[in-house]
Amino acid sequence: MGTTAEIRSAIENGKTSIGMELGSTRIKTVLIGPDNFPIASGSFDWENSYIDNIWTYSIDEIWNGVQSSFRSMLESVKSKYDVVLKTTGSIGFSGMMHGYMVFDKEDKQLVPFRTWRNNFTGQASEELTELFNYPIPQRWNIAHLYQAILNKEEHVKNINFLTTVAGYVHWKLSDRKVLGIGEASGVFPIDSVNKNYNLGLADKFDQYISKYGFDWKVANLLPEVLVAGDNAGYLTEAGAKLLDPSGNLQAGIPMCPPEGDAGTGMVATNSIAVRTGNVSAGTSVFAMLVLEKELSKAYKELDLVTTPDGHMVAMVHSNNCTSDYDAWLGIFAEALKELGLDVPKPKLYDTLLGMALKGDPDCGGLLAYGYISGEHITGFEEGRPMIVRSSGSNFNLANFMRVHLFTALGALRTGMKILIEKENVEVDEIRGHGGFFKTQEVGQRVMAAATNVPISIMETAGEGGAWGIALLAGYMINKKDGETLDAYLAERVFAGKTGDVLKPDPKDVAGFDKFFERYTAGLEIERKAVEILK
């Protein structure tokens, strides 16, 4: 990493790169030095709002969060190195994938941002999956667009540009309407040979909706597709002031293609090569397995996306993961406070989540669903978090914590079964990152039980997608002629850095299998709860 004086010199001379990721609950900014590792970071916590039956973030919230996170990183730089950051070698932006941000010819936003969390595009998803013979999950931008058409929404005729939150931020800072190919692959199906949208399917879509009489073609609404290493524009004067209202940040900084959190997670865990995989587990959970060959058919439970350099990836995405057990831990924190006890949050989490390892392998017969929102893999447009037990269940704290960790991966397991059992996809190791793995060993053991695959956690994985997009920004300006992204990561970033690998415990695997049978059979209870509990 170098001495403080060396790092200060690198910052002053722009020998750094910056990455920012707009996640579901946090906007994180990371500054990396010449050795590609973080030297400063900042963050801003935020939450989506549920307004008029839509999960959303407002434009003002987006920019307040972006500016606050960036300012937090600048303050870290000043505090650590006593220098004001005025420039950097490159910068990149990432965000939660999918959703729906649409603008007219005057660049006015037509409807509030509809995030990936909205599960009301079921009809569009089914029709398009059949039309394209390609999986179009409910979260995808094209599913949101077609559902708006089916709903006869007035704004559709006025759309001039459709993008993601990362694409939106990049556009406003660079004046370029582009996306990295990994992010674009969650907007509209990709032709992995030509590294562009599948224009044949775009034509098919235009013909399919021709009766509505729109004067646009879908391909003309979408951002340009770029791959890792491409230049995606430069920070404009207006963009520099928008990002850093203090006025210190200089314009002209090269910008890499904006990417999705799936792609940056792959980069941050060095899992973009064939037969590697990674799982990002936090508010939502998704597993990404880089494929050796295409799948035999389309599955509604799976996405097909790409790595930032364009390799096909099977993605299992579950909308719900840690939110419900976070809420339960909040209840325990309240109880402790009422008892006059001041227990720091990290100790509370580590202690209670650690109890899960003391539970019965199958959670003692307990059943829970952490469906804060809908869950497409199991067919829910809405969710109702719940815990259910029989009078004969072994109801204790260890099993209570274990069942909440197990159920956080229940929907994920549903999709993984398809890949491993029906498509015979082989993966040597899955690399984990995200809040689910913060408590040492616990998340890793539970994930190994759910997937029956060795799980590794790299020391750097906690830096997450913001570090991943910073690495992509660095790759753009530092790569040698012909140097591929996987070679750059393997040789210049992760060389000699192996993660802590944990193999599945057969007892845990058998216990998860037993729990999963109960989970699958009990989905009818969850359906009834959605129906009755309004």
pLDDT, mean over the chain: 94
What is the CA 113 to chain-centroid distance, rounded? 17
Residue 457 lies in a domain: no
DSSP string across 220-259: HHSPEEE-TT----B--HHHHHHH-TTS-SPS--BBPPPE
Nearest Cα to Cα of residue 280 among 491, 45, 455: 455
Residue 455 lies in a domain: no
User: What's the whole-number mean pLDDT along residues 90-100?
Assistant: 96
Q: What is the pLDDT of residues 213-247, one digit of tens each?
A: 999 999 999 999 999 999 999 999 999 999 999 99
pLDDT at res. 460: 61
> Above pLDDT 70, what percent of the chain?
99
Q: What is the pLDDT of residues 492-505, one digit of tens each?
A: 999 877 678 999 99
Which tokens is 178 given? 């582009």
pLDDT at res. 498: 67
Strongest mean pLDDT among 312-316, 442-446, 452-456: 442-446
Residue 79 lies in a domain: no
Q: Is 210 helix (H, G, I), strand (E, B) or coil?
A: helix
Nearest Cα to Cα of residue 212 among 148, 293, 275: 148
Residue 140 lies in a domain: no
CA-CA distance, 383 to 4, in Å (whole number)? 50
> Above pLDDT 90, what percent of the chain?
83
Alpha-carbon dihedral of residues 351, 395, 400, 500, nearest 10 degrees? 70
Q: What is the pLDDT of residues 157-201, one digit of tens each?
A: 999 999 999 999 999 999 999 999 999 999 999 998 899 999 999
**Cα distances (angstroms) measured from residue 402 to each of 29, 103, 365:** 33, 45, 11
Domain that holds residue 381: 323-411+507-532
pLDDT at res. 274: 84
Which tokens is 313 given? 């990836």
Q: What is the pTM of this model?
A: 0.81
User: What's the whole-number mean pLDDT along residues 92-103?
Assistant: 97
User: What's the whole-number mean pLDDT along residues 261-279?
Assistant: 88
Q: Which helix (H) or strand (E) holds 215?
A: none
CA-CA distance, 146 to 331, in Å (whole number)? 41
pLDDT at res. 202: 98
CA-CA distance, 304 to 125, in Å (whole number)? 14
Residue 51 lies in a domain: no
Residue 139 lies in a domain: no
Q: What is the pLDDT of residues 321-376, one digit of tens each?
A: 999 999 999 999 999 999 999 999 999 999 999 999 999 999 999 999 999 999 98
Q: Using pLDDT thresholds of 50, 70 and 90, give the confidence band for residue 265.
A: confident
Q: Is the confidence at residue 520, as pLDDT, over 90?
A: yes
Q: Using pLDDT thresholds of 50, 70 and 90, give the confidence band for residue 407.
A: very high
Number of separate domains in the chain: 1
Overall residue count recorded for the chain in this entry: 534
Residue 405 lies in a domain: yes
For the ranges 133-142, 163-172, 238-247, 471-480, which has the lowest average pLDDT?
Answer: 133-142
pLDDT at res. 428: 85
pLDDT at res. 302: 87
- Helical segments of 213-290, H only: 218-221, 237-243, 261-268
Q: Using pLDDT thresholds of 50, 70 and 90, give the confidence band for residue 1.
A: low
